[in-house]
Structures are given as structure tokens and as C-alpha cells.
């Protein structure tokens, strides 16, 4: 039986990522057919989390996990540490005395309980009893009006329940939810561009991008790359410092930047240059941008893996397309304005502008995988491979974010 894990960030009032919702996917027909199916699925979930590593998926943050009725009543949530998960009750779980008793037990054990899309169940006879064990109520901002969204805050905050606004698609919606009294926020509002015309790309960032563009070519000009780095004392210093680390420390002394590049390798150099450019855009303590940076890295790796798997020639442009897919958000400018300052190929620029080509197609697939919506489009890759790629991309991005730029 298949289980597929994805994640979506959850933010607090300071726009810091405080948790992830973990979403697992399997066969729609037989994931939870009966109690035996639930028990089998439970085994797969536990094994999957252990094999992948819950700590790696969540990076130490708390995880919201959806549980079916049978999994709840089988006490599967108790397999996890109370501090590591939030037990999320889905809208199709019937509210009855048994569920209420299960939630009571979970609360006594120290678990946090969230109710998803609860408007479906609000009029249940048992709802008031259940409410006393609920810590968080999730409100779907796509399916509710602003009037209802405000009313829910007024009704449930007095019960010491925190409200989470989910499917928040724009920054305007986030600001509305924040002002209305919501505590947590989930959605893709952070990936929408907030255009500020006074921002510009500094000269040293253009140097990074010129190097990245050269590295994306079939036969990069190492002399040109070496020359660009040599003209930047800070970059030269950081490159030599990186080469001197235990992972790359050479036997002989480095006599030139070109020698350092050869020893490091073009693929490693590309990763390093990209991380430097991102760290130059935003200070490393700017928490609200860190998730955007990480997401761009995950997309880049996914695009590269998909292109390589499907046998597309030269996967480097695919990685750059994924990596730069959120550059408008990072620069606070429209994507068309940002691209004017970047030496990216016409094909990459077309893909980032939404024009149909292979690069754009693979980028769309990576975003669907990221949102666990790969069924929407016919991606010619098995679900097992998709899951493997996604987990590897998260691990790769997390490791890359640990690279010290200074």
C-alpha cells in the first residue's frame, strides 16, 4: 500500500513558520476500506514517517496530521510524541460519544487537537461536548465569507480556541485574517508578489546571476566564471573558505580561483552561488522569507529530478527555472521587472512568465507535487517516484540552507 507525504507551512502572527501540515497520499479506492485497511495503512504511515524521518520532514517543528475516524478510534495518534504532532480531525469524521471520549483521552495525554472545515459539523448535537477538547479551529477562507470569518472569531475565541485561516491566497486576505483575530495562517499568500518599485537588484547580485547563467550552459566557460569571482574579494574569500572546509579540503595549496572551482566542481559551485545570492537578498534572520527561499530550492531540485528522470537533455535549466520561480516574491517586484535584470535564457524566462514550453510544464508539475495535487494533471511519473523525489528535494534544500555564507 502506498503512502505519499507532502507538507504545507503554517505561520504565526509574525509570519514565522511554526508548523507544517503533513499530507499523505495513497490509493483513493483502498486506502481506508475497512478496519483492516486502516490498520494496514497505519503501519505504512508509521513506517513511512520513521523511514523518512518525521524530524527531517518537519525540521523540528510541530506537524498537523489528518486522521480518519478509524485511525482516531484506534488510537493511532498516540504512536507519536504529543509535542511533535497536532491531531487534525477531518470534516467527514462523525461526531459521536466515542469520538468525544477519544479526544478527551488525547487531551489528557497532552495532545493538541484541531478541527478541520468544522462548519460541516457545527450543528451536530454532540458539537458542544466536542468543543471543550478542541485547541484549534481551521477556517477555509475560500469557502466562507468575511462576515462568517469574523463571526467565528467572536464565537470561539472565548472558549480559548485559536483560529487558523487556511487557503489564504493573497496578502490582503492574510492581513484581514490577522486583523480579525486569527492566530495561525496556512496557504500560499507568501508566494504572491508584493510589488515595491523602489527595490532593485544590487550589482553583486547581478554578478551571482551572470555566474549562474554561465553554469547553466552545456559547456560553461570556467575562465569567465573564475574571472567574475576574482573580481569580487568577498566571493573569492568565501570560495577559498569553503574549499578549506573538511568536506573539500585539498591535499595541495590552492594557487588560483580556477583551481578552486575545478576542485569544488561545477554542480557544487552552482549550489553555493545560488545560496549566496539568496542570502544576499534577505538577512538570514528574516524568518518570513526563509520559507520562500527554501521552497524555491525544493522546486529547483524537483524540476531537475523530473527532467533527468524523463530523459530531458541538460537538466540544469530546469533547476534554474524552479529556483527562480519565486524570485519576484524575494525581490518584491513583478516577475517581468526582475527578469529584465537577469541574464537567463529566453527559454527560462518564457517558462517563468507562464509561456508554454517544456521548462514551464515541468515547473507546473513541481508546484502540483508541492501542493499534493499531482492528480490534476497527468504527470508521467509513478506516485512512488514522485514521493521519493519530493522527500529528497526537501532534504537537499534543508541541507543547502545550512551552508554558511560568511
What are the start-end ranges of the E strands in 286-382?
Answer: none
- The residue assigned the cell 527559454 is 347
pLDDT class of 184 with cuts at 50, 70, 90: very high
Residues β-bridged to residue 6: 23
pLDDT class of 187 with cuts at 50, 70, 90: confident
Supply the angle between the helices 287-309 and 383-401 in degrees, to the nearest 10: 140
pLDDT class of 232 with cuts at 50, 70, 90: low
Q: Which residues contact 45 (CB under 8 A, 6 or more apart)?
A: 3, 24, 76
Is residue 253's pLDDT more than 70?
no
Is residue 195's pLDDT more than 70?
no
Per domain, the residue ranges of the chain are 4-191, 203-401
Is residue 72's pLDDT more than 80?
yes
State the average pLDDT for the chain.
76
Is residue 110's pLDDT more than 50?
yes
pLDDT of residue 28: 35
Instruction: Please compute the mean of the pLDDT values over residues 123-149 and round it to a whole number.
Output: 89
**CA-CA distance, 390 to 367, in Å (whole number)?**
11
- Nearest residue to 321 via CA among 219, 403, 392, 216: 216
Which three cell numbers mark 69?
475516524
- Nearest residue to 245 via CA among 272, 266, 267, 270: 272
Highest-pLDDT range among 103-107, 232-236, 247-251, 270-274: 103-107
Q: Which residues contact 327 (CB under 8 A, 6 or more apart)?
A: 296, 335, 338, 342, 352
pLDDT digits over 84-100, tens only? Answer: 889 988 777 888 899 99
pLDDT of residue 194: 28
Is residue 311's pLDDT more than 70?
yes
pLDDT digits over 96-105, tens only? Answer: 899 999 999 9
Which three cell numbers mark 347?
527559454
Residues β-bridged to residue 24: 5
Output the CATH code of domain 203-401: 1.10.3210.10
Using an 8 Å Cβ cutoff, are 114 and 88 in contact? yes
**CA-CA distance, 322 to 298, in Å (whole number)?**
8
Instruction: Please compute the mean of the pLDDT values over residues 199-220 and round it to a whole number.
Output: 68
pLDDT of residue 251: 65
Q: Which residues of 142-180 are buried (b: 16+ CB within 10 A; e: fewer)?
A: eebeeeebbebbeebeeeebbbbbbbbeeeebbebbbeb
The pTM for the full model equals 0.52
Is residue 192's pLDDT more than 60?
no
In degrees, rounded to 5, the angle at the alpha carbon of residue 171 between the alpha carbons of residues 120 and 352 is: 110
Instruction: Please compute the mean of the pLDDT values over residues 5-14 and round it to a whole number.
Output: 80
Is residue 54's pLDDT more than 70?
no
First to last CA, the chain: 46
Instruction: Please compute the mean of the pLDDT values over residues 75-81 and round it to a whole number.
Output: 78
pLDDT of residue 121: 66
CATH class, 4-191 region = alpha beta
Is residue 288's pLDDT more than 70?
no
Residue 222, H or E segment: helix 222-230
pLDDT of residue 38: 47
Residue 48, H or E segment: helix 35-52
pLDDT of residue 364: 93
Is residue 190's pLDDT more than 60?
no
**CA-CA distance, 370 to 251, in Å (whole number)?**
42
**Backbone torsions φ then ψ of 350, nearest 5 degrees:** -60, -45
Instruction: Please compute the mean of the pLDDT values over residues 258-286 and round it to a whole number.
Output: 70
Instruction: Please compute the mean of the pLDDT values over residues 60-77 and round it to a whole number.
Output: 80
> Are β-strands 136-140 and 162-168 bridged in parallel, bridged antiparallel, or unpaired?
parallel
- Nearest residue to 194 via CA among 12, 320, 15, 350: 15
Amino acid at each position: 500500500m502506498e503512502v505519499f507525504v507532502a507538507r504545507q507551512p503554517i505561520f504565526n502572527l509574525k509570519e514565522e513558520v511554526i508548523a507544517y501540515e503533513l499530507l499523505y497520499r495513497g490509493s483513493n479506492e483502498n486506502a481506508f476500506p475497512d478496519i483492516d485497511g486502516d490498520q494496514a495503512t497505519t503501519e505504512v504511515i508509521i513506517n513511512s514517517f520513521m523511514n523518512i524521518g518525521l524530524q527531517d520532514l518537519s525540521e523540528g517543528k510541530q506537524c498537523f496530521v489528518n486522521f480518519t475516524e478509524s485511525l482516531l478510534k484506534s488510537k493511532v495518534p498516540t504512536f507519536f510524541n504529543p509535542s511533535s504532532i497536532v491531531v487534525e480531525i477531518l470534516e467527514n469524521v462523525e461526531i459521536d460519544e466515542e469520538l468525544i471520549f477519544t479526544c478527551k483521552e488525547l487531551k489528557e495525554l497532552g495532545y493538541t487537537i484541531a478541527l478541520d472545515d468544522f462548519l460541516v459539523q457545527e450543528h451536530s448535537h454532540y458539537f458542544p461536548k466536542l468543543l471543550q477538547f478542541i485547541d484549534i479551529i481551521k477556517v477555509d477562507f475560500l469557502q466562507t465569507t468575511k462576515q462568517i470569518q469574523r463571526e467565528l472569531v467572536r464565537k470561539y475565541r472565548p472558549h480559548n480556541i485559536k483560529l487558523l485561516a487556511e487557503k489564504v491566497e493573497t496578502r490582503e486576505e492574510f492581513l484581514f485574517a490577522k486583523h480579525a483575530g486569527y492566530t495561525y495562517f496556512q496557504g500560499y499568500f507568501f508566494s504572491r508578489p508584493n510589488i515595491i518599485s523602489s527595490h532593485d537588484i544590487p550589482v553583486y547580485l547581478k554578478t551571482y546571476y551572470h555566474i549562474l547563467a554561465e553554469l547553466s550552459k552545456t559547456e560553461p566557460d570556467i575562465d569567465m566564471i573564475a574571472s567574475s569571482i576574482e573580481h569580487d574579494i568577498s566571493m573569492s574569500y568565501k570560495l577559498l573558505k569553503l574549499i578549506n572546509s573538511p568536506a573539500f579540503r585539498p591535499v595541495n595549496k590552492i594557487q588560483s580561483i580556477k583551481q578552486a572551482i575545478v576542485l569544488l566542481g561545477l554542480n557544487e559551485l552552482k549550489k553555493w552561488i545560488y545560496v549566496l545570492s539568496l542570502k544576499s537578498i534577505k538577512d538570514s534572520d528574516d524568518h518570513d522569507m526563509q520559507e520562500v527561499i527554501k521552497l524555491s530550492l525544493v522546486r529547483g531540485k524537483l524540476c531537475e529530478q523530473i527532467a533527468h528522470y524523463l530523459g530531458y537533455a541538460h537538466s540544469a535549466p530546469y533547476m534554474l527555472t524552479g529556483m527562480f520561480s519565486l524570485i519576484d516574491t524575494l525581490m518584491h517586484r513583478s516577475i517581468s521587472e526582475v527578469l529584465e535584470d537577469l541574464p537567463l535564457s529566453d527559454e527560462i524566462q518564457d517558462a517563468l512568465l507562464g509561456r508554454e514550453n517544456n521548462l514551464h510544464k515541468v515547473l507546473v508539475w513541481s508546484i502540483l507535487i508541492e501542493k499534493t495535487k499531482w492528480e490534476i494533471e497527468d504527470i508521467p511519473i509513478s506516485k512512488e517516484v514522485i514521493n521519493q523525489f519530493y522527500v529528497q528535494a526537501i532534504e537537499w534544500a534543508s541541507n543547502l540552507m545550512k551552508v554558511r555564507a560568511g
